[in-house]
A = this chain, B = another copy of it.
Amino acid sequence: MALSKVTGKRDVYLDDRPWEEALEEYMAYLEQKGALNPGPPEVVAVEEARGRVTAAPVYARVSSPHYHAAAMDGYAVKAALTFGASETAPKRLAVGSEAIMVDTGDPLPEGCDAVIMVEDVHFVSSGVLEITQPVYPWQHVRPIGEDIVATEMIVPANHRVRPVDIGGLLAGGVTEIYVHPRPRVAILPTGTELVEPGRELRPGDIIDYNSRMLAGLVTGWGGVPVRKKITADDFEALRRSLLEALQESDIVLINAGSSAGSEDYTAEVIRSLGRVLVHGVATKPGKPVILGEVDGRPVIGVPGYPVSAYLCADLFVKPIIYKKLGSVPPARRKIEATVSRKLVSSLGVEEFVRVKLGQVGDKIIATPISRGAGIIMSLIRADGIVRVPRLSEGYGAGQAVPVELLRPLEEIKETTVIIGSHDIALDVLANYLRRLYPQASLSSAHVGSLAGLNALKRGEAHCAGTHLLDEETGEYNVSYIQRLLPDRGVVLVNLVYREQGLIVAKGNPKGIRGLEDLARPGVTFVNRQRGAGTRVLLDYHLKQLGISPDQINGYEREEYTHMAVAAAVAGGVDAGLGIRAAAVALGLDFIPLAEERYDLCIPREYWDTPYIQRLLTVMNLPEFRKEVQALGGYDLRDCGKVMWEQK
């Protein structure tokens, strides 16, 4: 725990309160300070009011229609003149006096109270028409106020104006309405390490992307974001920025410096000007949040990690913005899903786990994705969020859990779920799938080949990507499938052949030529996780060479994808085993070791579904094949071909 540079006191550990309790207390406090009241109403033109929130109910100024209107093209008449008309005793009416031609929308002429449709009359001469049935009064007439009666309420207060409301308000003679002002939300990016996007990066620099993400969220919730310049980690500078921000905004977000580290001044600065009500909540991510108040305005310390920042904004900022607009945030749709793997969570914190979702058979399967607070890609890829409650230690694989949706269920149901080994060609496949079938998407979870086949066994995916070498036979995948899915009808379709080899730094400075060099002192290595086909391949070759894992410096460091291995090499590790495309992508050198077969294992029951048939169509597209080939190290000679079947 760091000493505060300003107060000289050791800062306290953060609180560990349930977030709902913290929010409730905070809102009650803000309410009492008047900080949640909408600002003074603004007048806006109805035409410009889409998305704005009414500050008062709006009443019609005129009726619609504001006159008795013909509802059909035809002839206006006095209904009484038509009584008694029949096939045998038709009635004749003088056009222009007894029957007056009207178009839809025309005012009903004086003395008329009904309209005869043009289809129901016939002319006996140019000035006389004949009808064979009577009309009742008010037939085919839209009386005054049929739609809207003057003084009637068209929309209530605190109502978000939609296009149909714009139509109705204008129809009711209203051209301007009172709306709540959009809450102005100042966003203060703070941190000596922050740099603006687009700058040349030095080690230690962090691109200030959080403030832009927060600004987008604020806009979506109906606020006006005011992004301020980056402030260094300096008590006085932050204090000045906050004072300035308070001048021009209703809510202030300080991102970050919200933790209790040696350069975290946010809480102290808020405390020096106002009050900190909560510092720390029992959520993961998002723990180091600060809920404060200065001059009757909410001031919130938003944590620095992007997922924490998102969550904190969603839990604490969103309800304030909505409340200042007289409303509550719309609830996210909740469904029940089956978790595909064991989900361990700490007792005492509520964890917000991002998951991919897909419908497999009659179940919606939720597959957790990376849980780090720093992994913004986990939010970008997420279809939903599983909340593991504070008093739970998690869920077992196969358990049904509630999921909050981040994407419409209808879209999720159009998602092909592929699980297993990672290959870059899958990204290209996903892209072309979407291009060909805009409603479809591909969700791929990278857990390794073996785990992929096990997921198929549990009914959690439509297919699995696998490249498992049988050390005995030298053949790929078949023996593993026979062992793991003995009773399952499956089709094994090739996606690619690809080169596996050692990814090494540009120019190969350590002069690595093969796996035997990994045992050399001074050579560092990065491995793939257990169950990955690439690791099976490594172990197979090491065994043949008589090298034991403990001779390799870095055998224990596990990464989950080829790209992560390549990134580790780009970051200073000497070597890793992976596919050529990953080396090519990051401009690294590559020492080929073997060509291997990467197949899709498809349970027979999904073969005829769009989930699979769409993939097969894409695999036959020349553009798709060309783009995969361009990645380097791929051979698509059998792409889309059935390699083996099990009835």
Please list the residues of chain A having a beta carbon within 8 angstroms of any beta carbon in chain B. Answer: 1-2, 46-47, 50, 57, 62-69, 71, 73, 103-107, 118-119, 136-138, 142-158, 162-171, 173, 175, 191, 193, 197-198, 201, 203-210, 212-217, 219-220, 259, 261-263, 304, 306, 310, 322-323, 326-328, 330-331, 333, 372, 374-377, 379-380, 408-411, 427, 430-431, 434-435, 438-439, 554, 556-557, 561, 563-564, 566-568, 570-572, 585-586
A204 to B104, CA, bound (A): 10
Are the CB atoms of B376 and A147 closer together than 8 Å?
yes
A1 to B72, CA, bound (A): 11
Are the CB atoms of A213 and B166 closer together than 8 Å?
yes
Are the CB atoms of B46 and A212 closer together than 8 Å?
yes
Are the CB atoms of A377 and B148 closer together than 8 Å?
yes
Are the CB atoms of A379 and B333 closer together than 8 Å?
no
Are the CB atoms of A568 and B157 closer together than 8 Å?
no
Are the CB atoms of A328 and B439 closer together than 8 Å?
yes
Say whether, besides A164-B310, A586-B151, A435 and B157 are in contact (CB < 8 Å).
yes
Of the listed residues A163, A304, A372, A561, the one surrounded by the most CB atoms of chain B closer than 10 A to its CB is A163
CB A267 to nearest CB in B, in angstroms, measures 15
Are the CB atoms of B145 and A568 closer together than 8 Å?
yes
A327 to B411, CA, bound (A): 12
In the bound complex, residues from chain B placing their C-beta under 8 Å from that of A170 are: 197, 207-209, 212
CB A312 to nearest CB in B, in angstroms, measures 14
In the bound complex, residues from chain B placing their C-beta under 8 Å from that of A167 are: 209-210, 212-213, 306, 310, 376, 379
Say whether, besides A167-B306, A212-B47, A175 and B197 are in contact (CB < 8 Å).
yes
In the bound complex, residues from chain B placing their C-beta under 8 Å from that of A208 are: 170
In the bound complex, residues from chain B placing their C-beta under 8 Å from that of A262 are: 73, 103
CB A84 to nearest CB in B, in angstroms, measures 16
Q: Which of B67, B193, B375 lies in contact with A146, CB distance below 8 A?
A: B375
Closest 10 CB pairs of A and B: A163-B216, A145-B567, A167-B213, A144-B571, A170-B209, A331-B410, A151-B585, A107-B203, A67-B203, A149-B563
Are the CB atoms of B376 and A143 closer together than 8 Å?
no
Q: Which residue of B lies closest to A585 (CB)?
A: B151
Say whether, besides A164-B376, A216-B50, A263 and B568 are in contact (CB < 8 Å).
no
Say whether, besides A149-B586, A165-B380, A175-B197, A374 and B142 are in contact (CB < 8 Å).
yes
In the bound complex, residues from chain B placing their C-beta under 8 Å from that of A557 are: 137-138
Say whether, besides A104-B261, A156-B434, A435-B157, A168 and B376 are in contact (CB < 8 Å).
yes
A408 to B104, CA, bound (A): 36
Are the CB atoms of B201 and A62 closer together than 8 Å?
yes
